[in-house]
Every structure is written in structure tokens, then in C-alpha cells.
Amino acid sequence: MPTKRLGVLQKLIPRPGDGRVVLAVFMLGWTFVVLVPLLGAAVTSFLQTRGIAWTLSPSLNAYNDIIFTGRWEVIVRTLLMSGLVTLVSLAVGFPFALWLAKHARSGWLKQATFIAMTVPLFLDPSARTLVWRALLGTTGIVNTGLIGAGLIDAPLDWLLFSNFAVAFGLIAPYFPNMVWPIYLAILLIDDELIAAARDIGASPFQALRDVIVPLSLSGVAAGIVFTFVPVLGDNVATRLLGGGKKEYLADSVTSLVTTMNYSGAAAFATIVLALTAIFIGMFGVLEARARGRQ
């Protein structure tokens, strides 16, 4: 009898080499942890709520409120800001990652760069963002330095509590999200491929265009996703650096949840989730086509 029970237990316990069991367990956990909440938010957006009471009858009131009360402008503003932050991070992050992966020879310099880009990730977002208020304020270091240098006569009030301040405050914390995937992708490119391109007469720009960029597209795609998506839900920079002049997605969701308008908050989340999925899908198709032309 004990031997029979032991055989049953051996069948129930996954074996380390059974990849299908591991994959099934992972997919089950992923479904309950990620997919179920997302599906729940989508379903909630079509329900009517009165405080904590739910009405199970389907309704489009939450989406009508977004369209006819002008809240759709919040979604557009957030998408534009996220796109701007992502483009700037990519434009600066790609050459920086290329330098870090292929041209930074000094070991201590690379280690210092790694620390500088990693340590801020462990800091509190609010404390990290408040620093920019001291730097960009009318009496901050930037305005004081510009006035002292004679470049301006009065403080620049648009440096803080503006869209510029929000964008600047978002680029700083999410810049590593763009750099790390691109750095890893470029680091895996064999130096001999680049040297071979140079040997057959390719200029540095041609080697970059025909060798480095195509082979690092997976890192670029990951960097774009890892930057664009988190910026959509950031409410620290918008709250501390925006001064409440412009409302962004996270601010709207927070206010709706505070007033117990859960269906409205869920509708915001569902719309942004759908737009993000479309964006990632389109980018994936473009990347696949680019790889197919190689």
C-alpha cells in the first residue's frame, strides 16, 4: 500500500526535466496573476456601480462619460507624453548603449555607469522626483546659474509645473528601461561581424545601419515596451512636477477610484490596455518585417 501511494505522489509531483509541466504551472500562475485581473477590469468597465454596490446589467455609461465629458483628452495627452518620453529615451539611449557595449574600455567607468543607472531604481520615486523641484524651481540651481551667467534676466517659470517638467521627470527614471535591453542586444553582437563589415569597405554609418541596428532590433523593441508602458501609469512625476495644471491617466484613475467610480476607472484601464496591445502588435509586425528583409 505505501508503495502504491508513493507511485501516485511521484506522478503528481512535477519532475525537474518535464518541461511541459513547468510550462503548464507557469501558464496557470500567469493566468491567475495577470490575465484574470485584466479580464476583470474589462468586465467591470461594462457594469454600473453605485458606491460599493454593483449592478450586473451591462452598460456603456463609463465609456460614454469618457467621450462626452472630455476625459478622452486625458488618454490622448498621456499617450502623447508616453510617446515623447519613449522617443527621446530611444534617441539618447541607443547611442549611449552602443558606446557602453562596444566602446567603453575602462572597467571602472563601466562599473560607475552601471551603478549610476541601477541605484536610482532602489530609491523611493517621490524622493527621487522631488530633487528636480529643487533644481528646476524659480529659485533653483538652474535658474540661479542662468541668471548668474547673464543668460536670462528673470527666472524661467516653465521649467517647473509644466509639460516640460513632467517629460523631464519621466525621462530620468525610465531611461535605464530603454538602455539595458539595447545594451544587452548590442553586447551579444559578435565584434567580428562589425570588423568584417569594415573590412569590405563599409563606413561606420553603414556598419551601424546594416549590422548593428538590424541585430539589435529585439533589444530596441523591448526597450520601447519597457519604457512606453510604465510611463502610461506613472503618477509621481505628473503630480509633483506637473503642478496639477494638466491631468494625466494615472491622476484620472486615482480620482475615479477615490470617488468609488470603479467602472469609470476600469474603462480607462481597458482603453489604454487595448491601445497598448495594438501598439505592441504593430511594432512586433514591423520588427518581423524588418528581420525578414535582412
Position 53 scores a pLDDT of 63
Buried b (16+ CB within 10 A) or exposed e, 5-24: eeeeeeeeeeeeeeeeeeee
pLDDT number for residue 180: 93
**pLDDT at site 4:** 55
User: How much is the pLDDT for 258?
Assistant: 82
Number of H helices, E strands in the chain: 16, 2
The predicted structure's pLDDT at residue 18: 55
Please give the model's pTM, rounded to 2 decimal places.
0.81
Are 219 and 185 in contact by the 8 Å Cβ rule? The answer is: yes
* Structural contact between residues 166 and 80, judged by C-beta atoms closer than 8 angstroms: no
Residue 17, pLDDT score: 52
> CB–CB of 247/74 below 8 Å?
yes
pLDDT at 269: 85
**Could you give the C-alpha distances from 98 to 67, 88, 112, 180, 216, in angstroms and in order?**
44, 16, 17, 11, 10
Going along the chain from its start, the domains and CATH numbers come out as 69-292 (1.10.3720.10)
Cα–Cα distances (Å) from 290 to 23, 94, 97, 286, in that order, read 30, 18, 21, 6
Check residue 90 and give its pLDDT.
95
Residues 6 or more apart in contact with residue 97 via CB below 8 angstroms: 179, 180, 182, 183, 186, 219
CA 68 to chain centre: 29
pLDDT by residue for the chain (294 residues), tens digit each?
A: 455 554 544 555 555 555 677 778 888 887 888 788 888 888 888 887 665 666 667 788 888 888 888 788 888 899 899 999 999 999 999 999 999 998 887 778 888 888 888 877 777 788 788 888 888 888 888 888 888 888 888 888 888 888 888 998 899 889 999 999 999 999 999 889 888 988 888 888 898 988 899 889 889 988 998 999 889 888 888 888 887 778 888 888 888 888 888 888 888 888 888 888 887 787 777 667 656 655
